[in-house]
Amino acid sequence: MRSVLKWVGGKSTLMGSINRILPEGNRLIEPFTGSCAVTMNTSYDSYIVADINQDLIGMYRMVRDAPDTLVAIVRDFFSHANSADEYYRLRDIFNQRTSDKPTQAALFLYLNRHGYRGLCRYSKKKGTFNVPYGHYKAPLFPEKEIYHLSEKLQKATLLCASFQETLLLAQPGDVVYCDPPYVEKGRFTDYHSSGFNMSHLRELVGILESMLEKGVSVVASSHNEKAIRDIYARFSQTELTAYRSIGVKGGKGKRADELLLSRIAFPLALPFREA
């Protein structure tokens, strides 16, 4: 199932490979949920779906709790607002943050689908969403995906929290899937105004390494670069190839060499079955 959002590094196309590595467990914890592709395409008993981006989590709360309301507002935006003038007008309204929660969530989804390559980027100085108009003829209205995700999120606790706060909640028998902002040629993507850097990644990996002692299995995704492989040296490493449409001019997309990193606490567990 496709994700509700377009997302840099979204994992929908890699779910076959990810599901072959994810073990069975009581609960899946995603501290960097992004497009929510992994939650959408797995079948754990419960989930913690977390991200530091309040706009993202706010939208997912509306998907879970009021999908009919969200669909109605988003449909109205999609039906009349596919122009540069309307996009920038609605972006200004979104950045004023004076709308009610359903409208703010719908605006975030509209901007994601109509903005350039589905980027999620904020000004470091003002914290405002600053992605330009994408000039797409017919952006996908993800109604079916909204209702599918709404059903999945009934089993989820949604948190706007840092990865440090989220990982403190892990309990024996849980599975953690981490997809932090990817790095390419030493530069991390900016999906939140607070940023993410190599120091944060080292801290994250240190926390993940300690999970095994708690009986928590860990699977992580990252860009395939030597610096990343070195940081995850204590993890099993599987190389994958994905194709990214974000940042390229049409066609098949840019090849991206990725890594799946894993430390599994349940050596006797059966392979996880795809949802």
List the CATH number of the domain containing 189.
3.40.50.150
Is residue 6 included in any domain, yes or no?
no
Helices (H), the chain: 15-21, 37-40, 54-65, 67-80, 84-96, 101-114, 143-153, 163-167, 198-211, 226-231
- Residue ending a domain, choose from 143, 174, 192: 143
Calculate the dihedral angle through the C-alpha atoms of 67, 73, 75, 78, rounding to the nearest 10 degrees.
-130
In terms of domains, do 48 and 170 share one?
yes
pLDDT score for 246: 53
The identity of residue 245, as a single letter, is S
> Does 40 share its domain with 165?
yes
Note whether 202 and 125 are same-domain residues. no
Q: Which residue has the tokens 């470091």?
A: 124
pLDDT of residue 196: 83
Q: Check residue 10 and give its pLDDT.
A: 75
| Same domain flag for 235 and 103 | no
Structural tokens at position 265:
């606490």
Q: Is 152 annotated as a binding residue?
A: no
DSSP lists the bridge partners of residue 238 as 260
The pLDDT, as a whole number, for residue 250 is 47
Q: Is 65 annotated as a binding residue?
A: no
Tell me which residue range forms the domain holding 226: 14-52+161-263
Mean pLDDT of successive 10-residue stretches along the chain, which has 275 residues: 86 89 96 95 97 97 98 96 96 96 98 94 92 95 97 98 97 96 57 72 96 94 92 95 57 72 71 53
Contact between residue 179 and residue 34 where contact means Cβ atoms under 8 Å apart = yes
What's the structural domain count of the chain? 2
Tokens (6 digits) for 15? 């779910």
Residue 253 and residue 171 share a domain: yes
CA 227 from chain center: how many Å?
23
Domain limit, last residue, from 100, 116, 143: 143
Answer with the one of 143, 172, 187 that is the final residue of a domain.
Answer: 143
Does 68 carry a binding-site annotation?
no
Residue 104: inside a domain? yes
Distance CA 161, CA 32 (A): 9
Residue 5 domain flag: no
Report the CATH number at residue 70.
1.10.1020.10
| Annotated binding residue 45 | no
Phi-psi region of 117 (alpha: psi -120 to 50; beta: other; left: phi over 0): left
148 domain-assigned = no
Please check whether residues 47 and 89 belong to one and the same domain: no
